[in-house]
Amino acid sequence: MGYIIGFFRVLKDVFLFILGLMFLALFFFRVVEWGLEYKVVQPKADKMAYEITSFAEANEVVFTDDLLSKFVKSWKKSGWIKDNEEITIRYVQFGNDKRFRVNVTLTADYWDHSVRPTGSSEMNGINWGEPPRETVRGEFPPFEDDKEDKKQVAEQKTETEEENQENANVLAEDEKTTQIEKISHDSITAFISHYVSAGISAIDQNDFSLVQDLLDPTGKAYKESKNYIKHMNEKGIQQELLDMDVTKIVPYNSDGFKVFTTEEYRVIDSNETIKIKRYQSEYHLVLLNDGKLALRELVETNLLSSAEVDRAIYNNHDGNTDFYDMEEETVHADPAYIYEQACASCHGGGFEGGVGPELYSVGYRMDINEIKYIIMYGQGSMPPMLDEREAEAMAAYLVGLQQE
């Protein structure tokens, strides 16, 4: 009988020992969970909410299901979000209200559900863009129950919007065609003359707004003109329009015109060198929705001739001198000096690149004639820079960089 009582006592002690270990393990896991929640999960949830809020405010966008999914996908792709972490995100912005709210819940799973720390963060922000007309709710992951309903509603809405837009486009196209047919060549000539004059004034005063209203905001000329005005001011180059002639006007793309001109300028660089330059240009004009003409693109500008003029001769000429009958002067500056004055601000003092591409290896990518052509006539946002002799010397200089 004593053995049996002793056995049960030992069994009780073993049971209490195991029970104590279980409580100790439970306490240990709970402490670990608290630590992970405080050090890892909660800060990560705070950062997610902050990034979404900051992105919405900075870019004036409304977060939909798709945009939230893209954010989470990028986080997972970068390795910042692990496979053992579950994310729930809610974005709410009410109709006709710039304010929005972001709620993020992050739960991590460790040791097969033994430890599951959870962090939750909520932030409010202001979307400075156009507020939505109806309440927008972005969710990740999207609710499966109403996912199909949302898809059907979205498809129906898209079809209706596309149909309405198509009808509106047809009406707008007909109206624009009628307006274009009414525009006279005299009006187009007057517009081009006004644009060229305004462009010179914008360069002289370093004021893009003087020409801004004459440009199509969606066209290439908008950005290129802004960069060109800045470039001419940085280089201290002055221009004066001496003559301009519109040689041809043709309809183009049912919404505008191609205009061809010849233009001649007096150009004074930072060294007080005077040159008379004649160009042939091609412009693309469009009719905006408000019925006004605007320049969309300076398609091409070719330098026809360039003559350097002695300042005394220019200041004292009687008005009958044809400067294009003069022989061109020899270029006084060497290519290294020309590069420093005209090219380094965009391509870097060591040819390493900046606003423009690096030029140290340009000789590997292009031959000397291709380089010369781009220097003379420009490319993209780069305007024509040098006359033929200077361009030829500069092209040889750049190709020779690889041999140094």
Judge whether residue 146 has pLDDT over 60: no
For residue 330, pLDDT over 70 is answered with no
Give the mean pLDDT of 115-129. 88
Annotated domain spans of the chain: 29-142, 148-182, 184-328, 330-404
Least-confidence region, from 206-210, 294-298, 302-306, 371-375: 302-306
Other beta carbons within 10 angstroms of residue 85's beta carbon come to 18
Q: How confident is the model at residue 105 (pLDDT cuts 50, 70, 90)?
A: very high
pLDDT number for residue 179: 67
Q: Tell me, what's the pLDDT at 168? A: 61
Residue 261 CB burial class (10 angstroms; 0-12, 13-18, ≥19): buried
Q: In the chain, what percentage of residues exceed pLDDT 70?
A: 84
pTM, two decimals, is 0.41
The residue assigned the tokens 């809610």 is 90
> Burial of 127 by CB count in 10 Å (0-12 exposed, 13-18 middle, 19+ buried)?
buried
| CATH architecture assignment, domain 330-404 | Orthogonal Bundle (1.10)
Q: What is the mean pLDDT of residues 85-113?
A: 89
Pairing between β-strand 256-268 and β-strand 99-108 as defined by DSSP bridges: unpaired
Report the chain's mean pLDDT, rounded to a whole number. 81
Of the candidates 328, 352, 343, 325, the one whose C-alpha atom is nearest the C-alpha of residue 395 is 343
Q: Please state the rounded mean pLDDT for residues 225-237.
A: 86
> How do residues 261-284 score in pLDDT, each as one tens digit?
999 998 888 888 888 888 888 999
Task: Tell me what pLDDT residue 156 has.
Answer: 67
pLDDT at 289 over 70: yes
Q: At residue 396, does pLDDT exceed 90?
A: no
Q: Does domain 184-328 have CATH number 3.40.50.300?
A: no
Give the residue-averaged pLDDT of 36-50: 89
Report pLDDT for 178. 61
Residue 331 pLDDT > 60, yes or no? no
Residue 123: name the closest of 99, 93, 101 by CA. 101
pLDDT in tens, 355-375: 888 888 888 888 888 888 888
Q: How far apart are CA 120 and CA 38, in angstroms?
A: 11
Would you state the pLDDT for residue 169? Answer: 63
pLDDT of res. 216: 92
Residue-level pLDDT at 170: 55
* Predicted pLDDT at 154: 62
Statement: residue 347 has pLDDT above 90: no
261 vs 356: CA distance, rounded Å: 28
pLDDT at 332: 43
| pLDDT of 25 above 90 | no
Q: What was the pLDDT predicted at 263?
A: 92
DSSP for 152-195, please give it: HHHHHHHHHHHHHHHHHHHHHHHHHHHHHHH--HHHHHHHHHHH
Q: Is residue 250 over pLDDT 50? A: yes
Of residues 84 and 15, more confidence is placed in: 84
pLDDT digits (tens, 9 = 90+) for 156-207: 667 767 776 776 665 555 555 666 677 888 888 999 999 999 999 998 899 9
